[in-house]
Amino acid sequence: MLEVARELIGKTLVHETPAGRTSGLIVEVEAYIGESDPACHAAPGRTKRNAPLYGPPGIAYVYLNYGMHYLVNAVTEPIDSPAAVLIRALEPFEGIELMRRRRARGTGKRAASFERNGLCRGPGNLTKSLAIDLAQNGLDLTGRELFIEDAPASMTEAFPIAWSTRIGINVGKEQVWRAFVPGNPCVSGKSSLNGNGRSAAGDHLTSPA
């Protein structure tokens, strides 16, 4: 499972829409594993909302939280083993101008005022830039609309990976189940290891316990 999270780092998440194609390199993820993980949506058992977690792996689990942000996960385990990787940040790759227009929508701001590195920094931001909402819930991530694929050869350098505790939760804080590319300016949250002054004491470069 944590291996899947690690493998997703450095792949691309792509969304094809009538408006165009947007994609980015996955630089930050978190694992949510099973009903025994209090922060996982499967913790209360099977419900209508979390049903995709109990389905086959390779499926997108999308939901709305805080009433205003859609979050996208990749289901990772076999049927009846609820677990998923939350995609938290991307380095924008294709469709950057389209991302800017989507981010500006509804705000009074100009699309041009959005910096590239911030377009997909944070799970709520990346779904807005890629136009991911409940319509994509349950899609096959190996399909043609919303999918994960290997990065182009020109980008397949080895990515350094750091692990930390998960962000934005109140339970299950002990697990070191957040993986990110240290130093990458598109990573959300704080990290002394990402080289831009956003730091957190718990970060470390070794593998999780």
Phi, psi values for residue 173, rounded to 5°: -75, -15
Among 40-48, 90-98, 147-155, 179-187, the segment contacting DNA (CB under 7 A): 40-48
- Cα–Cα distance measured from residue 153 to residue 150, given in angstroms and rounded to the nearest whole number: 8
Does 124 help bind DNA (rule: CB under 7 A)? yes
Of 20, 34, 168, 183, the one binding DNA by CB under 7 A: 168
Helices 96-104 and 123-130 meet at what angle, rounded to 10? Answer: 110
Does 28 help bind DNA (rule: CB under 7 A)? no
Of 39, 99, 181, 193, the one binding DNA by CB under 7 A: 39
Tokens of 64: 């709305």
Does 36 help bind DNA (rule: CB under 7 A)? no
Minimum CB–partner distance for residue 2 and DNA (Å)? 15
Identity of the residue, 2 or 39, whose beta carbon is nearer to DNA in the bound complex: 39
Residues 125-164 that bind DNA (CB under 7 A): 125
Of 1, 4, 64, 104, the one binding DNA by CB under 7 A: 64
Minimum CB–partner distance for residue 156 and DNA (Å)? 26
Q: What is the DSSP string of 57-119?
A: SSBEEEEEETTTEEEEEEE-S-TT--EEEEEEEEEEEE-HHHHHHHHHTTSSS-GGGS-GGGT
Minimum CB–partner distance for residue 21 and DNA (Å)? 22
Does 32 help bind DNA (rule: CB under 7 A)? yes
Does 195 help bind DNA (rule: CB under 7 A)? no
Radius of gyration of the chain (CA): 16
- Cα–Cα distance measured from residue 89 to residue 13, given in angstroms and rounded to the nearest whole number: 10
Residues 75-94 that bind DNA (CB under 7 A): 84, 86
Helix or strand holding residue 126 (H, E): helix 123-130
The residue whose two tokens read 């194609």 is: 21
Helix or strand holding residue 129 (H, E): helix 123-130
- Report angle CA 132, 86, 6 to the nearest 5 degrees: 125
Which residues of this chain interact with DNA, rule CB under 7 A?
30, 32, 39-41, 44-45, 47-50, 53, 61, 64-69, 71, 73, 84, 86, 118, 121-125, 166-170, 188, 197, 199
